[in-house]
Amino acid sequence: MVGKNLTEDPRFQKFELLTPNRSELNLFNTDSVLNYLKNKKPDFIVHCAGRVGGIQANMSYPVEFLTENLDINKNVIHSAYLAGIKNLINLGSSCMYPREAKNPLSEDLILKGELEPTNEGYAIAKITAQRLCSYIMKQDQSFNYKTLIPCNLYGRHDKFSPQHSHLVPAVIRKLHLAKIHKEKTVDIWGDGCARREFMYSADLVDCIYKGVTEFSSMPDLMNCGLGFDYSVNEYYAAAAKVIGYDGEFIHDLTKPVGMKQKLVSIVLAKNWGWQSQISLEVGLEKTYQFFLENEMKG
């Protein structure tokens, strides 16, 4: 999702973008990645590849979420180091923070407590990538390998299938189908009081662009988020308004809900001169339009 949104941003068109797909470059193959980077010698890498999914996918496939992301992260970051590529932005995840940490989550809290069990494998892989970046910079100060930690994301090119989607795309699909089938009720996992910070993906691309063009001033480790959050119930209500679903919601208290809150601190980002710009309503409208045009054809 992030990579495709980045390549669609007109500001990135002034760069020569290398965007190999899976058939061109197997990120699980160490030699292939190293040879590709030695051959292409990019000036800059934005590392946003990985296996991603919502709570259901993370709970169903913890082995794959740990091992596949460990392999991808090591191959990209370490190969970039071996190839002598000096500048890299690595994308982390707010699941890197301890489950019991005080919100808002500041960057110094990583590895300061137990992780959320429902996505622990993915979090461990992300933490490992961030630490690898920091170790490389410590070992050789000519390398600048920095990590952005975005909050939860949604937007164009998101995954909408129930098995793989995060909250917002899952809600969009569920409410759209409920509207089409004239369903009177829609279920919400848990009591809907858990709070989440979801940012429209174009906002992250905007932050990455500032990072690429103002790299020297960008902090080595920095959150990228809204600085505020909404309850799950509020996301359902906002999506229902955009989609035009007027049924009722019922809560399934037998389902897992994950962390009660996961709100990142944006103090460093604001001090650096960046803030998100896209409102929840606008982001939902754009995402729903993409869903209608690309997911519901035929």
Q: What is the pTM of this model?
A: 0.94
Mean pLDDT of 181-205: 96
Query: Could you give the angle at the alpha carbon of 53 between the alpha carbons of 292 and 277, nearest 5°?
Result: 60
Checking if the pLDDT of 247 tops 70, the result is: yes
The per-residue b/e assignment along 126-142, b for 16 or more CB within 10 angstroms, e otherwise, is bbbbbebbbebbeeeee
pLDDT confidence tier of residue 257, bands split at 50, 70 and 90:
confident
Mean pLDDT of 45-56: 88
Say what the pLDDT of residue 297 is: 62
Checking if the pLDDT of 4 tops 50, the result is: yes
Checking if the pLDDT of 259 tops 90, the result is: no
Question: Rounded distance, CA 89 to CA 7, Å?
Answer: 15
β-pairing, 185-189 vs 195-196, is unpaired
Mean pLDDT of 19-48: 97
**Which of the residues are catalytic?**
122
Question: Rounded distance, CA 122 to CA 77, Å?
Answer: 17
Say what the pLDDT of residue 298 is: 44
Say what the pLDDT of residue 186 is: 98
Question: Rounded distance, CA 246 to CA 240, Å?
Answer: 7
